[in-house]
Amino acid sequence: MKKKVAFFNNDAKINLPKVFGDKGVAKIHELCDVYDEVVSNDNFAEHIDKIQDVEVIFSTWGMPVFAQEEADRLPNLKLILYAAGATRDFRFPFVNNGVTVCSATAANAIPVAEYCVSQIVLAATGFFKNIIDCRDSRKMHSHTAHIGRGCYGARVALLGNGTISQLVHGMLEKDYCLDVVVIPSRPEQRTMSLEEAFATSYVVSNHFPDRDDNVHVFNKELFESIPENGTFINTGRGRQVNEDDLIEVCKKRQDLIALLDVQHPEPPVEGSELYSLDNIYLTSHIAGSKNDETCRMADYMIEEFIRWENGEELKYVVAPDQL
């Protein structure tokens, strides 16, 4: 007998086609007995009596957030398969009830890691500073535009040792002759200090988790210590960077490059000097699953459902330390 499942989402017309697509939805209908309406915060009361037998929820960005008493009204729910990344906004009432929560963080990490590796390699070649110099025809004609030190032996510091950092490390280790050091976000786990990592690394890439103790952890002293012509990359969270400090340092040090895919607030306020400084490059949070890449997150969760139904070990359970 097919398992009873339901889609939960607050913006289903946008998010479900974007992530699951026709192929993913069809596969879930093939495998499961799917409730015929998408459940949201707005219609939960209307549908709750009809979904008492639901054992599995499929969702993605837009997962409804419920109070504990609402989660308690799903007595047979055993598994939530979240085809996206962070689950902190919605998971706790369900975890309290013993529901297993799985996330496609590993799938979402792949395009982030690919993005970071490409930026690290370009930074090592001096690409971003070279672009600035090549706006000056004199530097082009005199062959004095900046050239980086290259990838052979350059030190790269990966800040954080989570899924994305591990993927970046593996890709760099496999294909490039870089000196990669990994700095865990927890100070007690470090074998190298943040100060040493910044002061000795040609490229510094932030992958710290979004915790309150990491707010503004990257400050003026650290940015000032980056070696000449170094690069700071942020695909973690904007609030981890003291942006006023970064702006101050970048104004003084034209050799320093900052690549910010995330900011705080996001996007930066009108008039912020983040927009106007030549050596600060902004992107609009494009390091992540986009377009067809989002379907990989759904595929991971469908595969996880098959493992669960077959009684196999699950790969993408949100671990206790993530809770």
Q: What is the pLDDT of residue 319?
A: 80
CATH of segment(s) 4-103+290-322: 3.40.50.720
User: CB count, 10 Å around CB of 186?
Assistant: 12
Asked, colleague to colleague, whether 4-103+290-322 and 108-282 share their fold, the answer is: yes
Residue 158 and residue 137: Cα distance in Å, rounded? 35
Q: What confidence score (pLDDT) does residue 20 get?
A: 97
Tell me the pairing of strands 179-183 and 203-206. Answer: unpaired
Cα distance between residue 196 and residue 22, in whole Å: 50
Say how many C-beta atoms besides its own lie within 10 A of residue 144's C-beta. Answer: 11
Question: Where are the domains positioned within the chain?
Answer: 4-103+290-322, 108-282
- Identify the CATH homologous superfamily for domain 108-282: NAD(P)-binding Rossmann-like Domain (3.40.50.720)
For the chain, the maximum distance between any two Cα atoms, rounded to a whole number of angstroms, is 76
Q: Which of 188, 158, 184 is nearest to 171 (CA)?
A: 158
Q: What distance in Å separates the CA atoms of residue 26 and residue 76, rounded to the nearest whole number?
A: 24
Asked if 66 contacts 83 with a C-beta cutoff of 8 angstroms, the reply is: no
What is the structure's pLDDT at 321?
A: 57
pTM, full prediction:
0.89
Written as tens digits, the pLDDT of the chain (323 aa) is 999 999 999 999 999 999 999 999 999 999 999 999 999 999 999 999 999 999 999 999 999 999 999 999 999 999 999 999 989 999 999 999 999 999 999 999 999 999 999 999 999 999 999 999 999 999 999 999 999 999 999 999 999 999 999 999 999 999 999 999 999 999 999 999 999 999 999 999 999 998 999 999 999 999 999 999 999 999 999 999 999 999 999 999 999 999 999 999 999 999 999 999 999 999 999 999 999 999 999 999 999 999 999 999 999 999 865 54
